[in-house]
Amino acid sequence: MPSTTTRHADDPVHQAPRSPHDAEATGALPPLREVIARHGIAARRSLGQNFILDLNLTGRIARAAAPLAETEIIEIGAGPGGLTRALLQEGARRIVAIERDPRALAALAELAAAYPGRLDIVDGDALTLDPAALTAPPRKIVANLPYNIATALLLRWLDNIGAYDSLVLMFQREVAERLVARPREPAYGRLTVIVQWLTEPKILFDVPPRAFTPPPKVTSSVVLLVPRTAPLAPAPKPLLERVTAAAFGQRRKMLRSSLKSLGVSVEALLAAAGDIPPTARAEELSVAAFCALARALQQSEGTSRSGG
């Protein structure tokens, strides 16, 4: 019998030893469509579910996260286990799969039995869990994220981004473009600044709607995020978030107007940040310039909070 069992979110997750008898061959497992049918795992919109059944595609995603053998992998929203299978077959030493759908938990338990000691299943909501607390370093997150919570999850992980070696994540193409945007591009915004301040994001490849079951109405993209060894520039994170919220909250306005909500002299703030023109707009500033504004705001308010 396998040593891996389904655990609830409040149970500790321990690493089980890898067995030499793992089912490495795909032939040892039933087809994914059969598993879905047997467990009645019809995708639910309320859970943001869109399953990938193409083995070539799941394999490509798993290989994008390589090397896998020397890290612990966290998968969010594993569903019936399509990507999970690929990660195991590509050599993942240990996977912690977080899933809240009871129908999928049963299917994942079968997969755990085929790969003894290499798959732990956590029954819980990814929005309330700290993935780093469930695994030992080095660790990576690899996931086909539920679209309805993808951005919220990423923002949570950024608070402890140094805990991960890398993140390979599926987003809607529109969101992926925001992660990698450059100044003066339409997609450049608050999310861009925070993500690029802490990581180096890269779109690896696109995934068409027909690759999913059911097909979404949008194209998706697989994104690699590699945490920076240090933030791109010094800045106190709460103030960087305030500055970007004010600037992009009225992105069509010049900074001399949009930054008034910060409650300090905008002219003095812009001068202290490196003589940023008051007529500039948020989309024109680099990530480093926003960091300079955050430091200037900290000095202006006389705060003692330090940056990430």
One digit per residue, pLDDT tens: the chain, 308 residues?
333 445 555 554 433 333 434 454 444 788 888 988 898 887 666 666 678 889 899 999 999 999 999 999 999 999 999 999 999 999 999 999 999 888 899 999 999 999 999 999 999 999 999 999 999 999 999 999 988 899 999 999 999 999 999 999 999 999 999 999 999 999 999 999 999 999 999 999 999 999 988 888 999 999 999 999 999 999 999 999 999 999 999 999 999 999 999 999 999 999 999 999 999 999 999 999 999 999 999 999 984 344 44
* Structural domains of the chain in order of their starting residue, each with its CATH number: 6-227 (3.40.50.150), 237-301 (1.10.8.100)
Yes or no: say if 171 and 187 are a contact pair by the CB < 8 Å rule: no
Q: Which residues pair with 200 in a beta bridge?
A: 226
Task: Record the tokens describing residue 254, joined without a space.
Answer: 């010049």
User: What is the spatial distance between Cα 11 and Cα 125, in angstroms, rounded to a whole number?
Assistant: 13
Task: Record the tokens describing residue 173, joined without a space.
Answer: 């193409």
137 by Cβ neighbours in 10 Å (0-12 / 13-18 / 19+) ranks as exposed
Distance from chain centroid for Cα 265: 36
